[in-house]
Amino acid sequence: MKTQRRKQFKALTLCLALLMAISLFSTTVFAIGQDEKGTIAVSGVEAGVTVSAYRLMDVAYDYTANQPVEPVYTWTNEVANWVRTNYSSYIGVGTDNSVQKAFSTASTNDIAAFYDKLAAAIKDGNSQVSLNVAGTCTGSGDITGLTMGNYLILIENGMRVYRPSAVNLVPTWDVENSVWEMSSPAVVEVKSSTLTIDKTVNDKEADNANIGDTVTFEIVADVPQFPANATAKNYAISDTLSDGLTFNSNSLKVYGITADDHETELVNGTTTYYVQSNQRPNSGGTSTFTLTFNYAEISGYQKIRVEYTATLNEDAVLGESGNINNAVLDYSNNPYDSSSWESQTDKVTVYTYGLDISKVDKDDNHSLSGAEFELYASENDATSRNNKISFVQISEGVYRKALANEEGNTTLVVGSGQNGSELGKLTLKGLDEGTWYLLETKAPDSYNKLAAPIVVTITDIDNGVLDGKVTNAKGTNGEDVALVSLKVENDDGFQLPVTGGMGTVLFTAIGIVLMGAAIALLVIIFRKRKAER
């Protein structure tokens, strides 16, 4: 019985071994089914953007024999008339829609121009093109459920400017199994132009200045590579200054920059660009100025550089918000749709600061009125009293730095406590970061005037990253974060230091009395002797 079971087990083991060997060395080959669909794998596309595939060519395939049939490619009926009208050498004569050798042997540039022009016709609603979207995906991904053919890939509504791409979805030959199959997706990497705009002030992301100072702004923006047959090639640069900055229109200059960094100055009012004030294109938004460009004139440049100056004016804001300058690049993101616009932005900030001065009694710290000061930018100026900084009075005890065309005051008087002012307070606004010299020119009544200027330094607090807040600030909110707090003390009258206490004073008084008595005694003795003679 045991012997019989062993024989059965050996037989079963042998069968299993044979089955395993067969599975290892043989593969079942399946023919392509007539309903079998393929996939196009799209890469190089930003997230959230719609990718559409349009089928331009049919593929002739014998599903019974499982092999392609000549002519392999034919233009679909939806595009055949357009191809025949615009590229007659690419299609057969009459009703023959087969793809001709002239197409397959055309140069890369010619093929790119063909797909570009066809894309324009599709988006422009050309009557000879009646294509529908065969499939879509969002961002980089797979477009599935597609039949064999040649596909045009178009992308809309992205931040980048995408060029038309083409891909063939056809079977591949499996050498090992000698069969055509559609197991792998057709892969296409879409080319695009990524546009940026960069704004600087005095070659920095942020800077500080005095009210009245002139600052230099620069904008550098990428130029897109629109397809040659694009119907939408809009390109504009706009700039908006805050109320605290005055645009110096005569300073505006525009340059085109090539790939090898060669600059050419572009002239306003020519076919290259023109200035359109106060209106961004197609957005309804306003601007300080807008530069609208003729793309055909700038397509050879890699970048556009805009340079101009502005003056920090009397409306300049102190504090973290600063005085902002916004630059915007508006452009056609879908080169075949004139209504499509996208924008890129960048901004810079100009900060300004001030001093919050408290005039107090040195002994009991009570506030004092009547003091007057002058401010200087250097120690030499303060010593010689040259180049006094001029201010415009906003209210009693409150001043802001004067503009070049303003007649300001150089004598700065602390608040009296009347007319809404703070007693002993002096606020100076619109100063740059750096060292300043405050000279007292008149002390409060009955007090001694300071002999030397007071050195005060304004320093933005955040280790070189400007944020409008200063070291030793007056407060933590609003413009207080930009005002350096400074206490200025005065001594009262003719005070001399004395030594000792009441005992010393008493002994001094007694000494004076004794000296007087001794002198009187000497006088009496002198007179008595004279009388005796």
User: Is residue 355's pLDDT more than 90?
Assistant: yes
Domain annotation covers residue 404: yes
pLDDT digits (tens, 9 = 90+) for 199-216: 999 999 999 999 999 999
What is the average pLDDT across 353-364? 96
Residue 520 confidence (pLDDT): 64
> Do 204 and 188 fall into the same domain?
no
Question: Is residue 17 a part of any domain in this protein?
Answer: no
Specify the higher pLDDT residue, 531 or 45. Answer: 45
The parent domain of residue 358 ranges over 353-490
Residues 336 and 468 in one domain: no
Which of 189, 187, 107, 196 has the alpha carbon at shortest distance from 160? 196
Highest-pLDDT range among 61-65, 167-171, 337-341: 167-171
- Model confidence at 522: pLDDT above 80: no
Residue 529's pLDDT band, with cuts at 50, 70 and 90, is low
What is the pLDDT confidence band of residue 6, given thresholds at 50, 70 and 90?
very low
pLDDT at site 497: 58
Residue 533 lies in a domain: no
**214 & 228 share domain:** yes
Who has greater pLDDT, 12 or 510? 510
Are 181 and 236 within one domain?
Answer: no
Mean of the per-residue pLDDT values of the chain: 88
**Residue 337 and residue 212 share a domain:** yes
The reported pLDDT for the residue numbered 353 is 98
Q: What is the CATH number of the domain that holds 122?
A: 2.60.40
CB proximity list for 412: less than 8 A, separation 6 or greater: 372, 373, 374, 375, 391, 399, 426, 428
In a domain, 30, yes or no: no
Q: Which two tokens stand for residue 396?
A: 């009693």
Task: Please check whether residues 410 and 470 belong to one and the same domain.
Answer: yes
The span from the CA of 346 to the CA of 196, in Å, is 9
| In a domain? residue 22 | no
**222/335 same-domain check:** yes
Q: Model's pTM, two decimal places?
A: 0.80
- Identify whether residues 305 and 398 lie together within a single domain: no
Looking at the structure, do residues 369 and 469 belong to the same domain, yes or no? yes
Q: What is the DSSP string of 430-481?
A: EE-SEEEEEEEEEPPTTBPPPSSPEEEEE-BSSTTS--S-BTTBS-SSGGGG
Tell me: do 384 and 401 sit in the same domain: yes
Same domain, 132 and 112: yes
Mean pLDDT (whole number) for 139-166: 94
pLDDT at position 7, please? 43
In the chain, the percentage of residues whose pLDDT exceeds 90 is 74
Q: pLDDT (tens digit, 9 = 90+) per residue, 102-126? A: 999 999 999 999 999 999 999 888 8
Identify whether 70 is part of a domain: yes
Domain termination residue (choose one: 306, 329, 351): 351
Band of pLDDT at residue 33, cut at 50, 70 and 90: confident
Q: What is the per-residue pLDDT for 20?
A: 33
Q: Do 346 and 229 fall into the same domain?
A: yes
64-97 residue pLDDT tens = 888 899 999 999 999 999 999 999 999 999 999 9
Count of structural domains, the chain: 4
Q: Does residue 290 carry a pLDDT above 50?
A: yes
The CA-atom distances, in angstroms, between 151 and each of 11, 33, 74, 143, 147 are 57, 20, 12, 11, 10
Q: Indicate which CATH number applies to the domain containing 376.
A: 2.60.40.10
* Band of residue 406 on the pLDDT scale cut at 50, 70, 90: very high
pLDDT of the residue at 179: 86
Residue 76 lies in a domain: yes
Inside any domain, residue 26: no
Instruction: Provide the CATH number for the domain around residue 232.
Output: 2.60.40.740
Please state, as a whole number, how many other Cβ atoms lie within 10 Å of the Cβ of residue 510: 10
Residue 498, pLDDT score = 56
